[in-house]
Structure 1
């Protein structure tokens, strides 16, 4: 039995599908099982990080677990508690979803948010693997409403690039690590095959859609006001802006061979992802 937390999210839902396709027993944990759209083969159970008893029950009888914590300054203790609950239930293999740049002092406060969870899995006594993906290709799905409305897409990172990764590759790496101790003790930084700026991604999207995709630069002041108006805390907003400044300064222009090392093939490109998801930007 393998337990997947964050089972309805971008990565978790794909890991559930991949494991189900392999006929592996998989237990998908979500706060709202009744509305979860997951494979029929998966056992879907309720679990809430704030209700640690529900998580301990969800981990019962499992050999391995995929841990998707909540990112932010308010969730540090919950991340540690999630690891503790898995270990208390006897889980012997942990795969932790973290983020690129974790621990880099140049990233500031946001670079510390995954550190307690990472340290907890290292100290757990279980076999562990940490995944640090770069920016997801799927993040640009947020552009879809703007494109359908004929509006430009926002850019808060200037000409800074990132090794944009297809989330399907992240899910495949997670699945591989969950099934074997071969990757125990490894920290994988997962990227796509090339560094891309927002302008590069817009151009790739335009090439597939056959239409111009305009880009408009957004100032830090505008971005901060938008995040605060959306209900984010000042600390979260400032951490998010620090992350964007990190990218803008070229600090996240990183490409690794870790996806190929684990999967034995080259990572998908952003253009590959766009071709497979073009309908999301037009329907």
Structure 2
């Protein structure tokens, strides 16, 4: 039995779908009371112990933020107490580089590796699905905001991340491995918008957003200063060419090439209607 935390998010939802479709017993954990899910709160050890009861394998996912380290440590402790045999942690690309923004996963990765359990760590690049945040601008006929200039990134299809997670959860072949999951190509925001224009049949435009203006937009949206700082450093990193990593880890695990950004847009065309 597999317990999936972060079960209502982008990766958790897709992972549960793939596991169930493959006939693999799995259930999801959320912090809220939701039908069909078990409740588990990272700040409530008793709830974590109850949520994990009966699971042999654990997929660890916590929403990005400065509390990720303590959430990960709490989940690892509950897993060890419950006799779980394997941990698969969703981390992030560059998570152990102190120079990279949002280095919230290093402590959690360390806790996983030192747990005494079998483990696999996944470090995905930015998700192809992140372009959905542009929908309000697109529907209003406004240009897509670009905070990263011509900086490039190898955006990964969330379905590939979930598929690699599923493989790691059900097979010992990936124990002790750390995979950096990227798409097969480097794309800038203008590149992404060009692909979307072609696939969707829309003449989409791009407008550069200075980082100072981006910061004010984030603050106006009510984001905590810690998130604002990380978002700014991340945008600057991509803009300066520091996020140009491409790997073949998806293909190594799944035996097929990683999905392209164009393929993701074509599959999810209806989301842009």
- What TM-score bracket applies, with the shorter chain setting the length? over 0.9
Find the counterpart in structure 2 of residue 177 from structure 1.
168
Query: CA–CA distance in 1 between the matches of 2:31 and 2:96?
Result: 30
Query: CA–CA distance in 2 between the matches of 1:152 and 1:175?
Result: 37
Asked if the contact 1:137–1:167 (Cα under 8 Å) also holds between the matched residues in 2, the reply is yes
Query: CA–CA distance in 2 between the matches of 1:24 and 1:206?
Result: 38
**Offset at residue 133 of structure 1 (A):** 0.4
Asked if the contact 2:6–2:63 (Cα under 8 Å) also holds between the matched residues in 1, the reply is no
Question: Can you list the C-alpha shifts for 1:205-239, whole angstroms capped at 9, x where unaligned?
Answer: 00011121111111111111121222222122111
Q: How many residues end up aligned between the 2 structures? A: 273
Partner of residue 223 from structure 1, selected from 204, 207, 214: 214
Asked if the contact 2:68–2:108 (Cα under 8 Å) also holds between the matched residues in 1, the reply is no
Query: CA–CA distance in 2 between the matches of 1:268 and 1:75?
Result: 28
Structure 1 segments of 4 or more deviating over 4 A? none
Asked if the contact 1:145–1:281 (Cα under 8 Å) also holds between the matched residues in 2, the reply is no
Could you say what secondary structure the match of 2:268 adopts?
helix
Asked if the contact 1:93–1:181 (Cα under 8 Å) also holds between the matched residues in 2, the reply is no
Moved more, 98-107 or 159-168: 98-107
Unaligned runs of 5+ in 2: none
Query: CA–CA distance in 2 between the matches of 1:106 and 1:34?
Result: 38
Asked if the contact 2:68–2:105 (Cα under 8 Å) also holds between the matched residues in 1, the reply is no
Find the counterpart in structure 2 of residue 38 from structure 1.
none
Matches within 5 A, 1:249-268: 249-268=240-259
**Offset at residue 31 of structure 1 (A):** 2.5
Supply the RMSD in Å over aligned alpha carbons.
1.3
Question: Can you list the C-alpha shifts for 1:48-75, whole angstroms capped at 9, x where unaligned?
Answer: 2222211111111211010002322234
TM-score (norm 1): 0.93
Matches within 5 A, 1:58-73: 58-73=51-66
TM-score (norm 2): 0.96
Could you say what secondary structure the match of 1:107 adopts?
coil
Query: CA–CA distance in 1 between the matches of 2:197 and 2:161?
Result: 25
Unaligned runs of 5+ in 1: 36-42
Moved more, 224-233 or 13-22: 224-233
Partner of residue 264 from structure 2, selected from 263, 269, 273: 273
1:188 aligns with 2:179: yes
Query: CA–CA distance in 1 between the matches of 2:67 and 2:122?
Result: 21
